[in-house]
Amino acid sequence: MHEKSISGLHKLSKAEKINWLAKNFSADEGTTTESLHSFWHEDAEIQRILDGFSENTLSNFVFPYGIAPNFLVDGQMYAVPMVIEESSVVAAAASAAKFWLPKGGFKTTVLGTTKLGQLHFSWKGHSAKLEALMPELCRTLLSDVQHITSNMEKRGGGISSIELQNMCHLEADYYQLKVGFETCDSMGANFINSVLEEFGRSLQHFISAQPSFSASEREVEVIMAILSNYTPNCIVRAEVSCPVEQLDDACINLDGLGFAEKFAKAVRIAEIDPYRATTHNKGIYNGVDAVVIATGNDFRATEACGHTYAARDGQYRSLSHCRVENGIFKFWLDLPIALGTVGGLTKLHPLANLSLEILGQPSAPELMSIIAATGLAQNFAAVRSLVTTGIQKGHMKMHLMNILNHLGGDADACKAAAEYFQDRVVSFSAVREFLDRREEGKTKPAVNAM
């Protein structure tokens, strides 16, 4: 073994883990240890809960928790919690929310809430035989998982569909059961995976007991049983619309119609060009991920689903769309997103729990709507900047404080810089030059007037 390798790290106490890390992978043991300790939560019980979220935890990695106000979604006002390290994202979302507030806000429609799972298996037999047995197999499968599904069914959820997928044209002897689930307000990952694994055992027993099958046909190999993070039938649409003349305030250099047409052209480019679509959709997820994280949901699953959906026709495209027809500007987003408002981190994490409280304890479909509206707001703000002032003007203004902190500016310097750069272009070199000139001014000797 390498001298810096270790066996059984997870068995050590947190202090022992920190000591081992600092000793073997740090230039300054004391500084590393102090830094990790400094981000522990002052409440030992909360820290114990946080430590339990992951493996080999040493400390907490802190991200800003902010609020974007003035979100009118389906007639209800929200202050939307956002966890993200980029200040311009929260500012942009808030700006777009305020822009659309007097125009009716955001309208959403939950188009579906079905989540999917798959049982992948190999079977050497005639597919027609298996297809003929599907009604009987489905009854058996549903009966065998009743002990798992009964509580979910009482809440209005459960298994909504079971389909046999013959994939032998792509891979020899490969089949799958594609299963639809309704999981109510829970994300449902553990529920779905438990059902699918039980399906695997039931499938093997069912096929082995078929008297009309040959000996080889009574053998089935379960490859894996797992939910799919691609949920094209768990989807929400968010939109904004208004007469084009109401967009006169969107840009000082364009009237409402001019802005609407230029905006729609920019979105159209993202529909047809995957290079632009990638950045365009990243902007949507700036808003989506920030709320997903704030509510204790899984942003990796959310993004994986959305990007797959964006490429569903074989080319990666924009998730949002815009049309200007008959004097009406319409901008909308179709977002596939599987969420939970009960279970998991949503109740365990103190701030995730608080986020749901701030949002009025929404159901999972309501949270889908709020998050889709936030993603659309973020997208509107970004495209609006791109087709008017350019993205850097606003972005760098928001980034000014980070540059000042990086260069060691004190509170007085930050205040002076904020005033100085109100009507100037912000860049790293410009801020450094400003600080240098300010420091030189401090050190120059005073000249006495005669």
| CB crowding 164-194: b at 16 or more within 10 Å, else e | eeeeeeeeeebbbbebbbbbbbbbbbebbee
Q: Which helix (H) or strand (E) holds 69?
A: strand 65-73
Question: What are the φ/ψ torsions at residue 81 (nearest 5 degrees)?
Answer: -70, 135
- 397 catalytic? Reply is no
Beta bridge partners of 221: 122
Question: What are the φ/ψ torsions at residue 442 (nearest 5 degrees)?
Answer: -70, -35
Taking the C-alpha atoms of residue 334 and residue 309, their distance in angstroms, rounded to an integer, is 9
* 347: CB partners within 8 A, 6+ apart: 296, 353
* 138: CB partners within 8 A, 6+ apart: 162
Beta bridge partners of 329: 242, 324
- 442 catalytic? Reply is no
Question: What are the φ/ψ torsions at residue 125 (nearest 5 degrees)?
Answer: -165, 180
From the list 292, 305, 313, 304, the residue with the least C-alpha distance to 375 is: 292
Taking the C-alpha atoms of residue 33 and residue 36, their distance in angstroms, rounded to an integer, is 5
Beta-sheet strands, E only, within 298-370: 320-325, 328-336
Active-site residue identified among 86, 144, 219, 261: 86
DSSP one-letter code for 125: S
Tell me the CA distances in angstroms from 365 to 162, 257, 258, 375, one per residue in order: 23, 34, 36, 15
Taking the C-alpha atoms of residue 142 and residue 306, their distance in angstroms, rounded to an integer, is 30
Active-site residue identified among 14, 262, 282, 347: 282
Tell me the CA distances in angstroms from 111 to 132, 233, 235, 238, 369, one per residue in order: 32, 7, 5, 10, 10
- 307 catalytic? Reply is no
- 261 catalytic? Reply is no
Q: Name the burial class of residue 102, with classes exposed (0-12), middle (13-18) and buried (19+) by CB atoms within 10 angstroms of its CB.
A: exposed
| CB crowding 268-287: b at 16 or more within 10 Å, else e | eebbeeeebbeebbebbbbb
Active-site residue identified among 120, 395, 397, 399: 395
Known catalytic residues?
86, 282, 298, 395
